[in-house]
Amino acid sequence: MGETYLSDRNLTGLRNDLAQVSERTHVCPKPPIRNHPRTNSTHEATVPFDAGGDRSHSWAPGNNVVTQYIRGGMTRLRALPSREPWTKTPQWTASKTRLRPALLVVVGLVYTTVLVQGTWGHGDRSEHLAGLDAKIEADPDSPHHLLERAEAHRRLGHYDESLADLDRVLVLSPGNLEVHYLRGLTHFDRGEFADAEASLRRYLESKPDSSSAHIALAKTLTQQGRHLEAGDEYTLAIAAQPTPIPNHFIARAKAYRAAGEQFLDPAVEGLDDGMSLMGPLVTLQGLAIEIELDRGNHAGAIARVDDVLANAPRKETWLLRKGRILASAGHQEQALDAFRLARASFESLPPRVRSTPAMIALRDTIAIHLDKDTSP
């Protein structure tokens, strides 16, 4: 039988092909009914079967002609030999050799597709902008479309165009509050923080519960070095949020920390408030430990490290941190014990984990502290 391809066959053609295969294949008289090897149900063998002893092609799931035909897909359909096991033929080897370059091409195309994904974002946004241009051309007095295009321009860094669209919205709809929020974001991205602050405050006069506007204003105040005010804005934003966001608690603590030593207490208290709501998040606890050390509260910092260690699946990094804190507080023997525990925890890790660059650096740091006899 010549080359046949499943995609070129209909049901009638399949029946004809199978009839030809049966005629061209040596088939002994139908063997007795045997049990299905997996279900123990009975089936009649429909492939070549040698009653004399060679049963290398006796019936088995996936070993009949129909299954071989379907599984072949776009490959050639070969009649099963009657007695000898099938072996790789020169034609099969040649086909495999011809297919290998095609496979490499497919893999290369997939790899190239993945690489160019990052370049599509800008094109997609430009297409979106072009679509908005068309909508505004059809309806030039639509504040909604103008606001949408202003935001698209801002994200693309087209600040003049963004502000021009926002000015046009103010003419068409003087009471539109969204204009002031977007103007604040645009001025912020442009580095015009005083103008950004003015626009955001005007928006918050009418929308005091806008968490996003408070966050934007806090960032604007931070850029102006007004950290205490920024911390207060983060507090207002957190209060307005239905779901607490860890990053906002961290940002507020950093703002109060940057405001001066007298505001370290509210910085730590704010982190504890976050952990009471969201649980003992390591990111919040880590910053709290740093601020405890800023306050000179070594005991409080060690207590927080112990809290983390109680639940940490990997302890080597936190044991190293505890050892450093103990050493800086003058507790040399306790620090030495912590460093030894850190080394033991490191050595208990699988070799593949210990061999990573970060873990090698950690191992060397632990060794340095042990070699220095725990001196800070």
pLDDT per residue as tens digits for the range 2-17: 444 444 444 455 455 5
Q: Compute the distance between CA of residue 307 and CA of residue 314 in angstroms, rounded to an integer.
A: 13
Q: Is residue 94 part of a domain?
A: no
**What does the pLDDT read at residue 315?**
96
In the chain, which ranges are E strands? 34-35, 42-43
Q: Which residues of 332-351 are buried (b: 16+ CB within 10 A; e: fewer)?
A: eebbbbbbebbbebbeeeee
Q: Is residue 332 part of a domain?
A: yes
Q: Which residues of 9-26 are buried (b: 16+ CB within 10 A; e: fewer)?
A: eeeeeeeebeeebeeebe
**What does the pLDDT read at residue 16?**
55
56, 84, 112 - which closes a domain:
84
Q: Which residues of 233-243 are buried (b: 16+ CB within 10 A; e: fewer)?
A: bbbbbbebeee
**DSSP state, residue 42:** E
Q: Is residue 314 part of a domain?
A: yes
84, 111, 133 - which closes a domain:
84
CB 233 within 8 A of CB 217: yes
**What does the pLDDT read at residue 125?**
63
**What does the pLDDT read at residue 139?**
79
What residue has token string 């207060």? 232
Q: Is the pLDDT of residue 257 over 80?
A: yes
Average pLDDT over residues 187-211: 97
Q: What percent of the chain stands above pLDDT 90?
A: 59
pLDDT digits (tens, 9 = 90+) for 84-129: 444 556 654 555 555 555 455 444 444 434 333 433 344 556 777 7
Q: Phi, psi at residue 78, to the nearest 5°?
A: -110, 140
pLDDT digits (tens, 9 = 90+) for 49-92: 333 344 344 334 444 444 444 455 444 434 444 444 445 566 54
Reported as a pLDDT band with limits 50, 70 and 90, residue 26 is very low
Q: Is residue 326 part of a domain?
A: yes
> Picking from 73-87, 225-239, 263-277, 355-369, which range would have the lowest pLDDT averaged per residue?
73-87
- What is the helix, strand, coil percentage profile of the chain, to 5? 70, 0, 30
How many structural domains is the chain composed of?
2
Can you give the C-alpha Rg of the chain in angstroms? 36
**What does the pLDDT read at residue 116?**
34
Which residues neighbour 157 within 8 Å (Cβ) at sequence distance 6 or greater? 189
Q: Is residue 370 part of a domain?
A: yes
CB 25 within 8 A of CB 48: yes
**What does the pLDDT read at residue 2?**
42
Domain range for 11? 6-84
Q: Is the pLDDT of residue 340 over 80?
A: yes
CA–CA distance from 184 to each of 111, 134, 147, 181, 204 (Å)? Answer: 41, 26, 13, 5, 11
Q: Is residue 260 part of a domain?
A: no
Reported as a pLDDT band with limits 50, 70 and 90, residue 373 is low
Q: Is the pLDDT of residue 30 over 80?
A: no
Reported as a pLDDT band with limits 50, 70 and 90, residue 45 is very low
pTM for the model stands at 0.64
49, 84, 119 - which closes a domain:
84
Q: Is residue 353 part of a domain?
A: yes
Q: Phi, psi at residue 175, to the nearest 5°?
A: -90, 10
Q: Is residue 223 part of a domain?
A: no
64-68, 148-152, 165-169: which is most confident: 165-169
**What does the pLDDT read at residue 129?**
75
**DSSP state, residue 313:** S
**What does the pLDDT read at residue 144?**
87
